[in-house]
Amino acid sequence: MKCTVRLAITALALWSVAAVGQVYESKDKSGAPVFSDEPAKGAKQVDLPPPNVVAPQDRPASSPLPAGKPAFSYARLTIFAPTEQTTIHSNSGAFDVQLSVDPDLRKGDAFVLTLDGNTLSNRYTSANIALTAQDYAAAAANTHEHSLSATVVDANGKVMIKANPVSFYVSRTTVRERRHRR
């Protein structure tokens, strides 16, 4: 690994110095090669090939939007349920999500939800979403506190708008066995 890092640094140094001028190689006390743009005692001149430079390409002109027709965008996306720092009581992990988007969701666009950093595989076209126990099991972290975020994506998967994430808690009822004293 040290050799690979040393070679990478050496290559970078040679490349950057090659663009400026001459390169010299010498050895340090341990015998490792040292490259510099100034000759040291016992240094040898290194012949480098010319740098590989690619000329910038002209970008194709983008077609302007028709006059009076601005690009579509959503003004607002909000997660209404669950609300920030609330507790959901669900033994299975299933719960409802309620979103609000302005303007209304366009045909072809969809909501995508992310639970605890894991994006759910479904795309939703309704702002009222019933997450299933399977959704929860597939995405939720093994903690009491969870984070939910929502985005609107177009038909190509491009993110159109993101909602502020909410943090909430899931409480599951547990039954403890009573131990009988003898």
- C-beta atoms surrounding 180 within 10 Å: 5
pLDDT digits (tens, 9 = 90+) for 144-169: 889 999 999 999 999 999 999 999 88
Tens-place pLDDT, residues 23-74: 888 888 888 888 788 888 888 888 877 777 777 777 766 666 566 666 888 9
Q: Which CATH class is domain 76-171?
A: mainly beta
Domain coordinates of the chain in residue numbers?
Answer: 2-46, 76-171
| Confidence band of 173 (pLDDT split at 50, 70, 90) | confident
Is the per-residue pLDDT at 81 higher than 50?
yes
Report the alpha-carbon distance of residue 171 to residue 98 in Å, rounded.
Answer: 19
Q: Among 82, 114, 75, 111, which Cα is nearest to 98's?
A: 82
Q: Give the residue with greater pLDDT, 16 vs 164.
A: 164
- The pTM is what? 0.57
